[in-house]
């Protein structure tokens, strides 16, 4: 009996191996690069954009429906609705490090939802900004007393403007969440929230065409 079990064990192992190999690989990040009726152009796990149709499943990502405004996916058993240029990260990247994939909008800019101190914002990725830059109106909405910070001058395309250096408790993009991130709050000339180098310096950044992948280094 013992010999019989030993002889059958490798067969059981092979059967399980074949089952595991047959399982679809589950995506950890999905970015929307194009929207059409019942179709969407998506980048999965930082790969090149590909067109998928409603009802189609690729790497565990199923497109339920889409129009020119947004696309709704089923990812990991949950529905996620993404607009043009938005992305969703469902897990960690290689080596267990958090990762998020961003898709460029039609103007070539990387825009993504995120949060500062737990308050939702829409970030514009800007490698030319030394810090995360927040308009004063947004800072007031979040209850940040930015005038208690250090006043300084910030150089912009319109010249030097007054700014206050502050420290954000947390800055989050996708499943990447950093604590104690240096920021600037400006009262004039800043229509967007900039995701600058005080956040990006702690990332490994990889761009392939219209796709930007950020992987947290520390």
What pLDDT tens digit does each residue of the chain (218 aa) get?
343 334 433 443 344 333 333 334 455 578 788 899 999 988 877 677 889 999 999 988 999 999 988 899 988 788 888 877 777 765 555 556 888 888 888 888 998 888 999 998 989 999 999 999 999 999 999 999 999 999 988 777 677 888 999 999 999 998 899 999 999 999 887 889 999 999 999 999 999 888 888 999 88
CATH of the domain at 160: 2.40.70.10
| Torsion sign, CA atoms 96, 98, 103, 108 | negative
Find out whether 20 and 52 touch, Cβ atoms under 8 Å.
no
pLDDT of amino acid 53: 95
Closest among 204, 208, 173 to 49, alpha carbons compared: 208
The residue with tokens 């999905």 is: 30
pLDDT of amino acid 113: 83
Closest among 216, 218, 217, 210 to 102, alpha carbons compared: 210
pLDDT of amino acid 16: 33
Domain count for the chain: 2
Whether residues 42 and 83 share a domain: the answer is: yes
pLDDT of amino acid 91: 53
pLDDT of amino acid 21: 35
Q: Beta partners for 86? A: none
Task: Write phi, then psi, for 149 (nearest 5 degrees).
Answer: -85, -175
Whether residues 128 and 190 share a domain: the answer is: yes
Range of the domain at 58: 29-88
Q: How far apart are CA 12 and CA 172, in angstroms?
A: 45
Exposure on the CB side of residue 56, measured as CA atoms within 13 A:
13
Q: How far apart are CA 199 and CA 190, in angstroms?
A: 18
Find out whether 121 and 65 touch, Cβ atoms under 8 Å.
no
pLDDT of amino acid 181: 97
Whether residues 72 and 127 share a domain: the answer is: no
Structure tokens at 198: 């005080």
pLDDT of amino acid 129: 92
Is residue 203 domain-resident? yes
pLDDT of amino acid 95: 57
Whether residues 186 and 123 share a domain: the answer is: yes
Cα radius of gyration rounded to whole Å, the chain? 22
pLDDT of amino acid 55: 95
Whether residues 196 and 141 share a domain: the answer is: yes
- The H-or-E segment that residue 17 falls in is helix 2-22
Is residue 118 domain-resident? yes
């Amino acid at each position: 009996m013992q010999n019989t079990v030993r002889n059958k064990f490798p067969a059981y192992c092979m059967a399980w191996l074949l089952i595991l190999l047959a399982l679809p690989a589950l995506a950890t990040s999905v970015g929307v690069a194009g929207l059409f009726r019942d179709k969407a152009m998506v980048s999965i796990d930082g790969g090149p954009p590909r067109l998928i149709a409603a009802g189609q499943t690729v790497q565990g990502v199923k497109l339920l429906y889409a129009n020119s405004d947004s696309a709704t996916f089923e990812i990991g058993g949950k529905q996620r609705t993404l607009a043009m240029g938005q992305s969703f990260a469902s897990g960690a990247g290689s080596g267990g490090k958090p990762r998020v994939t961003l898709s460029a909008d039609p103007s070539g800019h990387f825009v993504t939802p995120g949060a500062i101190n737990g308050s939702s914002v829409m970030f514009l990725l800007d490698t030319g900004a030394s810090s995360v830059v927040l308009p004063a109106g947004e800072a007031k909405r979040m209850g940040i007393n930015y005038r208690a910070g250090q006043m300084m001058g910030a150089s912009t395309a319109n010249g030097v403007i007054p700014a206050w250096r502050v420290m954000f408790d947390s800055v989050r993009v996708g499943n990447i969440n950093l604590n104690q991130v240096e920021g600037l709050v400006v009262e004039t000339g800043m229509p967007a929230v900039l995701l600058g180098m005080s956040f990006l310096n702690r990332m490994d950044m990889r761009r392939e065409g219209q796709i930007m992948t950020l992987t947290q280094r520390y």
